[in-house]
């Protein structure tokens, strides 16, 4: 009834987690997640629990496999459903003092000294467990050395299994439904808010979960923004507008991502076509270099059509994705300054979003063009099916 990975896949994940604990000399992992970014901040705890908490949660995983893992939900009324979606043996409410609940569990299984690993939300953004919880846990277990291993744990999730890639395909399909619904259904007089509702209604009945539905409409001949808006306005679209987008729908935590410009009742003007062409040329060049072992510097060099067109970028050029934002991340600061030594290398079976996003230097005009991609030995594999072309909404 609720989507779950196979027992073999979950065994693989727990083996990797316990391998990390063995390497670091840890008696347990304490994983924290919250509902931020449409539950994307649950990524680490979700990977071992299959639970997407709508508030926050803690997952305690002892290194000794004979000791049961325990999941503590943020709200008491979330416990029944958590027990339905997750196979973690112990699932209870974490109470109003969740650090005390975690400490009690560690004492119960005999972990009161040595080292325990803390896994927070996301190492790239230095987001860990709440400060008050950390201080309480230290005070309750003064002989237990608490070590932050968020970055090391996150690395375990970088290379995707084929089961995970299958879930990403489903998420990409759901995301495509939203984009196509918008391209087919956008009409003059509709507001940006209504456009978001139109896109979400295309995948919701198929079980999709909203992640991000960013868009901005504006007149092609009077551009007023270089990025899709996270908070849609009540501006009414008109014939001759362009809608710039960044969409992600989720399949139970696994997420697609696609960016396309949609032109309302008209072909793109010469100015918009030139920007689209620069994005498309960069997209193809980046995909051509994306192989296991490719460097960030090679990706940056492949974006030469953006530089040649006199454009900058605002959003990331490429970033890891699939559940949450992960390295490698090539951001706007690197378009003209490649990292020393080539930077990070891409690994096979990793999920990345390739998203060239040329913008004018004055930031009044821009578009995004890209999609979720798997780095493969034989070349980059897109998971999306929407054509890489200007989409025209018949007005």
**To the nearest whole percent, how much of the chain has pLDDT over 90?**
97
What pLDDT score was predicted for residue 154? 97
What's the distance, Cα to Cα, between the start and end of the chain in Å? 41
User: Smallest Cα–Cα separation from 66: which of 28, 118, 103, 20?
Assistant: 28
| DSSP H or E segment with residue 326 | strand 326-330
Cβ proximity of 93 and 76 under 8 Å: yes
pLDDT digits (tens, 9 = 90+) for 161-209: 999 999 999 999 999 999 999 999 999 999 999 999 999 999 999 999 9
pLDDT digits (tens, 9 = 90+) for 235-284: 999 999 999 999 999 999 999 999 999 999 999 999 999 999 999 999 99
Q: How many CB atoms lie within 10 A of CB 346?
A: 22
Q: Is the pLDDT of residue 37 over 80?
A: yes
Phi first, then psi: give them for residue 120, nearest 5 degrees.
-95, -155
pLDDT digits (tens, 9 = 90+) for 96-109: 999 999 999 999 99
pLDDT digits (tens, 9 = 90+) for 198-244: 999 999 999 999 999 999 999 999 999 999 999 999 999 999 999 99
Q: What angle do CA 240, 265, 284 make, to 5 degrees?
A: 90
27, two tokens: 């008696």
| Confidence tier at 1 by pLDDT (50, 70, 90) | low
**To the nearest whole percent, how much of the chain has pLDDT over 70?**
100
Torsion of CA 283, 287, 288, 294, to 10 degrees: 130
Whole-number Å distance between alpha carbons of 224 and 29: 48
Q: Is the pLDDT of residue 395 over 90?
A: no
What pLDDT score was predicted for residue 308? 98
pTM of the model: 0.96
Whole-number Å distance between alpha carbons of 92 and 380: 42
Q: What angle do CA 346, 352, 356 make, to 5 degrees?
A: 105
Mean pLDDT confidence for 74-89: 98
Mean of the per-residue pLDDT values for the chain?
97
Domains of the chain: 7-156 (3.40.350.10), 162-393 (3.90.230.10)
Mean pLDDT confidence for 4-26: 98
Mean pLDDT confidence for 382-394: 96
User: Smallest Cα–Cα separation from 51: which of 8, 3, 99?
Assistant: 3
| Confidence tier at 2 by pLDDT (50, 70, 90) | confident
pLDDT digits (tens, 9 = 90+) for 285-323: 999 999 999 999 999 999 999 999 999 999 999 999 999
What pLDDT score was predicted for residue 115? 98
């Amino acid at each position: 009834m609720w989507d779950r990975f196979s027992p073999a896949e979950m065994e693989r994940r727990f083996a990797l987690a316990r391998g990390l604990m063995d390497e670091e000399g840890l008696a347990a992992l304490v994983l924290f997640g919250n509902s931020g970014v449409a539950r994307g901040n649950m990524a680490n705890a979700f990977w071992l629990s299959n639970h997407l908490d709508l508030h926050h949660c803690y997952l305690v995983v002892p290194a000794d496999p004979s000791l049961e893992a325990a999941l503590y939900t943020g709200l008491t009324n979330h416990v029944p459903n958590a027990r339905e979606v997750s196979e973690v043996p112990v699932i209870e409410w974490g109470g109003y003092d969740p650090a005390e609940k975690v400490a009690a569990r560690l004492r119960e299984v005999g972990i009161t000294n040595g080292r325990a690993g803390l896994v927070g939300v996301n190492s790239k953004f230095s987001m860990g467990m709440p400060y008050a919880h950390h201080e309480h846990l230290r005070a309750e277990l003064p002989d237990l050395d608490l070590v932050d291993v968020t970055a090391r744990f996150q690395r375990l999730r970088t290379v995707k299994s084929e089961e995970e890639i299958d879930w990403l395909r489903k998420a990409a399909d759901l995301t495509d439904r939203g984009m196509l619904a918008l391209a087919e259904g956008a009409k003059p007089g509709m507001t940006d808010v209504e456009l978001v509702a139109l896109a979400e209604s295309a995948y919701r009945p198929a079980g999709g979960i909203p992640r991000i539905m960013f868009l901005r409409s504006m007149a092609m001949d009077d551009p007023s923004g270089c990025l899709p808006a996270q908070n849609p306005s009540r501006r009414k679209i008109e014939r001759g507008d362009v809608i710039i987008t960044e969409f992600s729908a989720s399949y139970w935590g696994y997420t697609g991502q696609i960016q396309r410009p949609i032109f309302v009742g008209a072909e793109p003007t010469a100015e918009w076509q030139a920007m689209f062409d620069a994005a498309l040329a960069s997209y193809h060049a980046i995909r051509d270099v994306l192989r296991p072992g490719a460097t960030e510097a090679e990706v940056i060099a492949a974006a030469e059509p953006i530089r040649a067109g006199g454009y900058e970028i605002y959003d990331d050029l490429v970033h890891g994705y699939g559940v949450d934002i992960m390295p490698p991340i090539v951001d706007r600061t690197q378009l003209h300054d490649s990292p020393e030594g080539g930077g990070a290398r891409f690994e096979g079976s990793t999920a990345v979003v390739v998203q060239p996003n040329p913008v004018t230097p004055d930031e009044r005009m821009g578009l995004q063009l890209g999609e979720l991609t798997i780095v493969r030995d034989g070349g980059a594999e897109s998971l999306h099916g929407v054509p890489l072309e200007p989409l025209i909404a018949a007005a």
